Amino acid sequence: MRNAPTILHLDMDAFFASAEQASKPSLRGKAVIVGGLGPRGVVATASYEARVFGVHSAMPMAQARRLAPNAAYLVPRFGFYRSISDQVMGLLRELSPLVEPLSLDEAFVDLEAGGTAWDEASARLAGAKLRADIRAVTGLTGSVGLAASKMLAKIASEQAKPDGLVLIEPGTERALLGPMSVRTLPGVGPATGDHLRRAGITTVDEIAEAGEDELVRLLGKAHGHALYAMALAHDERPVVAERGTKSVSVEDTYDVDIHDRVRVGLEVRRLADRCVRRLRGAGLSGRTIVLKVRRYDFSTLTRSETLRGPTDDPAVVREAAARLLDSVDTTGGVRLLGVGVSGLADYTQEDLFAQAQAQAQAQGQGQALGEREDQGVEQGGTEAAEERQQAGPVERRWPAGHDVTHAEYGHGWVQGSGLGRVTVRFETPDSSEPGRVRTFRADDVDLEPADPLPLVARRPGGGGGGGSDGGGAASAGTGVTPAASG
């Protein structure tokens, strides 16, 4: 382990919720919960104002609504969050070539490798500058931890939340870790934590006192050795730049179990098309097609098929997923479906045999489904059918929180929809006060989905720019409850 705190861990503060607050002036300083809004939805992120009520990520949305009935509940805008993440990761790469992203809002940086920091003073200066740059470019805040190892840097960023910086001085690690819960250490989840608790071990100090042999006896050789080393503040894991994507996948959880086999097949085709769009967007292709099915009784099955070569052809992926579905019994009902592609490559070598087989199957299935064409089910026409569903006046969907534009009133976001109506609040990130609310017919031709607006106005001559624009947006999400975490 190095002798200077030159490993930085950045964690954006309540990222999804803070981004929504910054883009919607009417929600700043208020409880905001982002996640799936259906009966089986879960919380992705809760603002610090919502955490006061006990709401946290991964909580069932129904429970969150009971705890915070007056909060704003929004559907995630992942494309928007990804664009902000790209800006943040760009700032990190200016600090060092060794940046290890963990998610859209979290990453490790080796400051020493970039020559940005070499001692405590230079590390603190780099961390402070990064926080200021993030605020200026995105209007949001992030918490920074600095330490001599990855484990301690992450612990420091947790202590820094929200909107702070904590540096752990080399030599103080053991004293800091000692009284902490065993759950603080990487790799100690609920099951391992309970196992250690039953053995009378609840703190990091007690792990060190138990000794390596006892840890190996309790947890096995690999886990026991690693946990004992971490309890002594030993963590030699390097920052690994740009860990390669191992797979690309999409999945949907359905509010009501799907029993109709034809509907299940259509959902799998739709997911396959979405997966391929994501695959192509990343400039990748893959050899292994994976189908995930969670049935009515929560049993989860996965099936996979490996092609002769990597592909990004939607027809090949669709038909492979359909073949995998044939081996799964869905008669009891399906609550979740997913399609993924692994064995990734940055080139395509089409599997001609698989394509020929797919075409043959498509012809046979087209004949078998001929009697159902009155339902709009046609082989090779799934994409067109989906577009009709999204664009048709009856089927238009208006997810809560998503951006829209109106021919007369301009840019706004959906507050809610239902019963053929959609309610919109018209405001932008730089609005000086909450915007006006209006309700329209869901099929109003003057109302259209829109792309998100940047949180910080771009100034003439280029560059992000902070000032009043950045400061106003950043005021949301810094948190009004210092006791909250995450």
Please enumerate, by residue number, every residue annotated as part of a binding site for Mg(2+).
11, 105
In what order do the strands lie in the sheet containing 32-35?
A: 43-46, 32-35, 72-74
- Taking the C-alpha atoms of residue 9 and residue 151, their distance in angstroms, rounded to an integer, is 9
- Two tokens at 341? 């592609």
Contacts of 304 (CB under 8 A, 6+ apart): 288, 289, 290, 291, 324, 342
List own/partner pairs for 86-91 with CB under 8 A and 24 or more apart.
87/137, 87/138, 87/464, 88/10, 88/12, 88/134, 88/137, 88/138, 88/142, 91/130, 91/133, 91/134, 91/137
**Identity of residue 339:** V
Q: What is the DSSP string of 420-431?
A: TEEEEEE--TT-
Q: Tell me the pairing of strands 72-74 and 32-35.
A: parallel
In what order do the strands lie in the sheet containing 334-345?
A: 247-258, 334-345, 285-295, 300-311
106 is catalytic: yes
Which strand (E) or helix (H) includes residue 449? strand 447-449
- Two tokens at 72? 């704003």
Please identify which of the residues 100, 106, 319, 427 carries the catalytic annotation: 106
- Taking the C-alpha atoms of residue 90 and residue 327, their distance in angstroms, rounded to an integer, is 45
The number of beta carbons lying within 10 Å of the beta carbon of residue 153 is 26
The number of beta carbons lying within 10 Å of the beta carbon of residue 265 is 20
- Taking the C-alpha atoms of residue 233 and residue 120, their distance in angstroms, rounded to an integer, is 18
Q: Which residues pair with 109 in a beta bridge?
A: 8, 99
Burial 181-195 (b: 16+ CB within 10 A, else e): ebebbeebeeebbee
Q: Which residues pair with 341 in a beta bridge?
A: 248, 289
- Taking the C-alpha atoms of residue 273 and residue 314, their distance in angstroms, rounded to an integer, is 6
CA distances from 74 to 71, 137, 208 (A): 10, 24, 45
The number of beta carbons lying within 10 Å of the beta carbon of residue 431 is 15
Q: Which residues are annotated binding-site positions?
A: 11, 105
Task: Tell me if residue 42 falls in helix, strand or coil.
Answer: strand
Contacts of 466 (CB under 8 A, 6+ apart): 132, 135, 136, 137, 456
Contact yes or no for 482/46 (Cβ under 8 A): no
DSSP designation for 374: G
Residues serving a catalytic function are 106
